[in-house]
C-alpha cells in the first residue's frame, strides 16, 4: 500500500485522498494546541510560506493522545492556529497515531521509518522524559509525543522522521534537498 492510496478526513469531516498531494514534498505532523511544542506552529508556517510555491505541503493532524493536549473541536483548533500562529497550511481532523485506533496514515509512516534520531544532550534528555510519561507509546516504533514530523519525497517515499524536539527550522535543509 502506498501513501497515495490512503484517504483522510479534513476538518469538516470530508474525505481527502492523499493522491491529491502526488508530486509534492510533504511534511506530515501530529500536533496539539496545548503542548510545550505548540510554538513550533510558527516554524512550520515559516517553512510553508517559504517553500509552498516550490512544492512543499504541510499536513497537520491534531492528536489528543498525549496528555489531552489537543482539546476542542476541529473548528476550535483551526481558529486557534489561524489566530495565534497565522497557519495557512492544510489541517485535518483529529486522529490517533498509536494503538488499535491509529490512523492508517500514521501506521504507514511509522512502518516506513520506525525510529526518530535524536541528537544533542538536551533533546535526548527531553525525549527520555517524554518517553517515560507517554502512555500510548508502548512499541518501539510508536510516536512518543506531539510534533513528531515525517518527511515524504515527491514520489511518496517516507524519507525521514523527526522528533518533537526537532524545530522546523532544523529540518529546512532536508526539505530543500527534496524540492
Catalytically active residues, by annotation? 35
Q: Are 103 and 61 in contact (CB under 8 A)?
A: yes
Residues 6+ apart with CB under 8 A from 76: none
Name the DSSP letter for residue 31. E
Cα(104)–Cα(120) distance, integer angstroms: 31
Q: According to DSSP H, which parts of the chain are helical?
A: 40-51, 74-85, 104-112, 121-133, 172-178
Amino acid at each position: 500500500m502506498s501513501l497515495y492510496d490512503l484517504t483522510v478526513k479534513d476538518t469538516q469531516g470530508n474525505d481527502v485522498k492523499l493522491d491529491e498531494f502526488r508530486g509534492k514534498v510533504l511534511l506530515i505532523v501530529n500536533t496539539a494546541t496545548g503542548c510545550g511544542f505548540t510554538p513550533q506552529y510558527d516554524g512550520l508556517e515559516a517553512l510553508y510560506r517559504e517553500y509552498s510555491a516550490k512544492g512543499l505541503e504541510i499536513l497537520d493532524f491534531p492528536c489528543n493522545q498525549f496528555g489531552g493536549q489537543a482539546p476542542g473541536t476541529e473548528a476550535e483548533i483551526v481558529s486557534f492556529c489561524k489566530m495565534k500562529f497565522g497557519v495557512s497550511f492544510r489541517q485535518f481532523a483529529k486522529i490517533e497515531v498509536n494503538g488499535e485506533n491509529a490512523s492508517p496514515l500514521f501506521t504507514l509512516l511509522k512502518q516506513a521509518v520506525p525510529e526518530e534520531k535524536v541528537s544533542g544532550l538536551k533533546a535526548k534528555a527531553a525525549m527520555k522524559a517524554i518517553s517515560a510519561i507517554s502512555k500510548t507509546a508502548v512499541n518501539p516504533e510508536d510516536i512518543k509525543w506531539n510534533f513528531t514530523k515525517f518527511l515524504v519525497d515527491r514520489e511518496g517515499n517516507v524519507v525521514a522522521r523527526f522528533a518533537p524536539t526537532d524545530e522546523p527550522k532544523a529540518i529546512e535543509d532536508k526539505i530543500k534537498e527534496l524540492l
